[in-house]
Amino acid sequence: NAKKMKYFIRILILFISISVTGCFGLFDSGSERIIGDYFLIWIDLPENQRIIKEFDNSGGGESVVPAYIYSVGHNEDFIIAKQHPTSGFESGYKINDKITNYYIIDVKHKIIKSDKNIFVPLKKDAFDNMRKDLNIDTIDFDMNYPDKY
């Protein structure tokens, strides 16, 4: 009887483990802190990776640069990012790798004093010129991901 009970408990634990992980396994996600309250985050598909600003360590946040972010660099004052636009949620976040947009986020609101502290979106020439003007042309893109899936 003790053997049957141990066997039953093991089967029950296995069943519960599969059930719990099965429900939570439907959605995959990933995140990586860039600096301060800024994170790279994706939910369900890596193709929807975006930059968010977290709300007061709550785990929630506001999307500040839309998907798909594939390269990021930063110093203590600015974040730079490369983005290929996607087709959006309804179309499965298909990445358009023929277009590259560039973003500069003023982390400490040194230049942009409003809530939207971001220069968006920029083409390569404007981005390069703005980096020179802001004296941030030495920031490297050191967080890199596939530029397409």
- Residue at 98: amino acid letter: K
What pLDDT was estimated at residue 14?
Answer: 55
Cβ partners under 8 Å of residue 106, min gap 6: 77, 78, 112, 117, 118, 119
State the pLDDT at residue 148: 76
The pLDDT score that the predictor gives to residue 22 is: 47
Q: How far apart are CA 51 and CA 80, in angstroms?
A: 11
Regions of the chain where pLDDT drops below 70: 1-27, 57-59, 112-115
Q: What is the pLDDT of residue 34?
A: 96
pLDDT in tens, 4-35: 655 555 555 555 555 555 445 556 788 899 99
What's the residue count for the chain?
Answer: 149
Residue 13, pLDDT score: 58
Contacts of residue 100, Cβ cutoff 8 Å, sequence gap at least 6:
82, 83, 84, 124
